[in-house]
Amino acid sequence: MNRDHELSIDFAACDGHGLCAELLPERITLDEWGYPVIRDSTVPGPLLTHAKRAVAACPVLALRLTRARGRDQQPQRSLHR
Amino acid sequence: MNFETATAIAAQDMPVPYGARLLAGWYATGRPADLSDHLARYGPAPIDGAPGALADAVEQAGLTGRGGGAFPTGRKLRAVAGRRGPAVVVANGMESEPASRKDETLLDLAPHLVLDGAVLAASATGATVAHVCLPRTRADQAESLSRATEERHRAGLDPVEIRVHTLPHHFVSSEETALVSWLNGGGAHPRSTPPRPFEKGVGKRPTFIANVETLAHMALIARYGPGWFRELGSESAPGTTLVTLSGAVRHPGVYEIPMGGSARQALATAGGPTERLGAVLAGGFFGSWLPMPLDPVAQPRGAGVLVALPEDTCGLAETAGVLAYLGSQSARQCGPCMFGIPSVADDFAELAWGQPDTALLDRLNGRLGLLPGRGACRHPDGAARLATSALLAFGEEVVRHMQYGPCSRAGGPLRLPIPAGPPAAEEGWR
Ligand SMILES: Cc1cc2nc3c(=O)[nH]c(=O)nc-3n(C[C@H](O)[C@H](O)[C@H](O)COP(=O)(O)O)c2cc1C
């Protein structure tokens, strides 16, 4: 099955270099402090090359690209309080 | 308002109040239950159930986490039990929420229910050790819990080892990945997920983390079953829950009430308001301000904490104070938390005490929208929830502050129990 990919950011690792927003402006912008804002986390096929380039360019490996998958097998990230 | 008085009300001469389960022993005897009290009342924990029996019972009971997230506990038990290799159990007794005293009170009054729950969770998940985490500020309680575990050990009650720990007391140190990090020898600050603790937590093992109250409910469900648990509460919110009721109520304290009730009913448990109320905070610093007048039926989420504030308080100023505190508690790992919460706190301070310009609300709303989901943990999400609810609940005050500047009530001392002290990151995480 040809599923979309999904973008996420490890904010504890991210230092706000901003390369991802430069390389993937279709999906990522920067907030007022220079940290990435994902406007839409899904990456359809045509954007995949750009997304992979952005992932590879992140100096602290904070940008992640995973294959989107069903969410109901495992507990969701718990809601906390 | 005196938060030191927020412990359970002694009521030796009263019948056990409606809804009291975890606190039934306290109401019956008027003293904390030691091991012999506990065994006389409940007998030993039924640790010899069939595999999966506890998770089934807990799932049918509809028990949800009492640490704030309300995640279904049965599902979490099953997720940990279903992983490979021996698991680890962690009891979260940190209670970093400043307006809450329920976990501390429970651990004082019925420690063996919590320990039973930890041991039951261990046998249900195949864990050989259960860690109980308390903040360093409650070293005395940790000491008496350690003695309680030794007593159980001598009585040959527990097939697993129970270890009691004292951790840094910062607000985010009680978040589950922070506990795991500390137990693994690191700092008590949140860590990025995945892997989530249920996949790879303490010692890289699958780790079941639950609030101490959740564990105590499990100890009763294991004995009396899901049908009994559901006799109180509602279909969608079964069972009972501990609440800390404080502020302008006649008898501030920790109470046990049926789940699914309204805020008004909960406040009535503490004797009702002492004066006209100006605002009610439900769920603590990560919670929300309830619109006034209180809806007679609406059930607030995160109702483990209710703070009733009298009419002469400014909700915007209170919120500004809490947000400044939450900003100071950032572990300073994630940009959106480290910069975003203080900037929202500054906007609120300007709104409460300054001469806000017309651009403020747009800026504030924009910043609020960029907090949720942008951190290793949900600290920024909680701060955003509180701030957003303030803008809704105090809509008229916002307009007045925008037009005329600070209201006359904004100048008074803040009523919420906002801890003073240096930013968390300056005090260290180990
Ligand atoms: C910043 C932050 C602070 C938290 N503090 C506590 C706490 O003091 N006690 C607690 O039980 N859970 C706390 N939690 C939730 C825990 O991460 C975890 O979800 C909980 O202990 C799981 O137990 P439960 O399912 O029984 O609620 C906190 C979460 C966050 C994001």
A23-34 pLDDT tens trace:
999 999 999 999
For residue B158, pLDDT beyond 80: yes
- Is B319 in the same domain as B188? no
B53 located within any domain: yes
- Is B221 in the same domain as B319? no
A42-43 and A5-9 strand pairing:
antiparallel
CATH of the domain at B75: 3.40.50.11540
CATH of the domain at B345: 1.20.1440.230
- Is B27 in the same domain as B158? yes
Could you tell me which residues come within 8 angstroms of residue B86 by beta carbon, excluding any fewer than 6 positions away?
B126, B127, B128, B205
Q: Contact, B94 vs B19, CB < 8 A?
A: no
**8 Å CB contact of A78 and B71:** yes
Across the range B390-412, mean pLDDT stands at 96
- The residue ranges of DSSP E strands in chain A, in sequence order, are 5-9, 28-30, 36-38, 42-43, 63-67
For residue A73, pLDDT beyond 50: no
DSSP conformational letter for A59: T
CA distance linking residue B225 with residue B221, whole number of Å: 5
Query: How large a percentage of chain B has pLDDT more than 70?
Result: 96
Q: Is the CB of B67 under 6 A from ligand 1?
A: yes
Instruction: State which H helix or E strand residue B254 sits in.
Output: strand B253-258
B93 located within any domain: yes
pLDDT tens digit sequence for B254-311: 999 999 999 999 999 999 999 999 999 999 999 999 988 998 888 877 669 999 999 9
B236 located within any domain: no
For residue B66, pLDDT beyond 80: yes
**8 Å CB contact of A16 and B335:** yes
Q: Is the CB of B214 under 6 A from ligand 1?
A: yes
Taking Cα atoms as reference points, which of B143, B147, B187 lies closest to residue B165? B143
**Atom number, ligand 1, closest to the C-alpha of residue B215:** 26
Kindly tell me the sign of the dihedral angle through the C-alpha atoms of B330, B335, B336, B340: positive
For residue A74, pLDDT beyond 80: no
B409 located within any domain: yes
How many domains is chain B built from? 2
CA distance linking residue B83 with residue B359, whole number of Å: 52
- Is B129 in the same domain as B35? yes
B201 located within any domain: yes
Across the range B370-380, mean pLDDT stands at 96
pLDDT tens digit sequence for B209-238: 999 999 999 999 999 999 999 999 999 999
The structural domains of chain A, ordered by start, are 5-67 (3.30.70.20)
Q: Place B48 in a pLDDT band, splitting at 50, 70 and 90.
A: confident
Choosing from B179, B203, B229, the residue where a domain stops is: B229
- Is B214 in the same domain as B358? no
Task: List B281's β-bridge partners, or say none.
Answer: B289, B307
The chain-wide mean pLDDT, for chain B, equals 94
For residue B56, pLDDT beyond 80: yes
- Is B178 in the same domain as B64? yes
B289 located within any domain: no
Please check whether residue A10 touches B, CB under 8 A: yes
- Is B62 in the same domain as B184? yes
CA distance linking residue B70 with residue B147, whole number of Å: 31
Q: Place B71 in a pLDDT band, splitting at 50, 70 and 90.
A: very high
**8 Å CB contact of B334 and A14:** yes
The Cα of B128 is separated from the nearest Cα of chain A by a number of Å equal to 23
B296 located within any domain: no
pLDDT of residue A2: 56
pLDDT tens digit sequence for A4-51: 899 999 999 999 999 999 999 999 999 999 999 999 999 999 999 999
Quick one: tokens of B236?
């969608």
- Is B32 in the same domain as B134? yes
pLDDT of residue A76: 40
- Quick one: angle between helices B335-353 and B395-404, nearest 10? 70
Quick one: tokens of A81?
């309080």
Quick one: tokens of B4?
């030191």
| A61 contacts in chain B (CB < 8 Å) | none
Across the range A59-65, mean pLDDT stands at 96
- Count chain A–chain B contacts defined by CB atoms under 8 A: 81
With 0-12 / 13-18 / 19 or more C-beta atoms within 10 angstroms meaning exposed / middle / buried, residue B404 is: exposed
Of the partner residues A10, A35, A75, the one whose CB lies closest to the CB of residue B192: A10
**8 Å CB contact of B196 and A77:** yes
Q: Is the CB of B377 under 6 A from ligand 1?
A: yes
ipTM: 0.87
Q: Give me the domain span that covers residue B371.
A: 315-414
Across the range B5-13, mean pLDDT stands at 45
B139 located within any domain: yes
pLDDT tens digit sequence for B414-429: 999 999 989 998 889 9
For residue B3, pLDDT beyond 50: no
- Is B217 in the same domain as B80? yes
